[in-house]
Amino acid sequence: MSESMLVINTPERCIDCEIGQNYSNIIETCVSCPIAGKSALDGEAESIPDWCPLKLLPEKDTKNHFPDEFEDGYAIGWNACIDEITGDD
């Protein structure tokens, strides 16, 4: 089976996530995560639960690599890969 990825803005709280479905009521905060197949309640919904399947996208490499045989093209390739994932040019 092949795999796919989805790039979204990283939520600060589960309840703010574009993916989660909010089933909160006056008694409790409840966010159902269709990817994890679990629900975050109260404190978990107000933060990011340990079991959240989101993975942070790596940062672009902005270091000034001195051109040598080992690191030649490393940052360019790394950044091009991130651009390909995010759709940036």
Least CB distance from residue 65 to ligand SF4, whole Å?
34
Closest CA to 39 of 18, 25, 23, 55: 23
Beta carbon of residue 29, minimum distance to ligand SF4 (angstroms, whole number): 12
Report if residue 11 touches ligand SF4, rule: CB under 6 A: yes
Using alpha carbons, list the distances in angstroms from residue 50 to 30, 53, 68, 70, 76. Answer: 16, 9, 41, 37, 33
DSSP assigned state of 15: G
Out of 23, 43, 53, 83, the residue judged to bind ligand SF4 by CB under 6 A: 53
Residue 63: count other Cβ atoms within 10 Å of its Cβ. 8
Q: CB 42 → ligand SF4: shortest distance, Å?
A: 13
Q: Which residues would be at the binding site for ligand SF4 (CB under 6 A)?
A: 11, 14, 17, 19-20, 31, 33, 35-36, 40, 48-49, 52-54
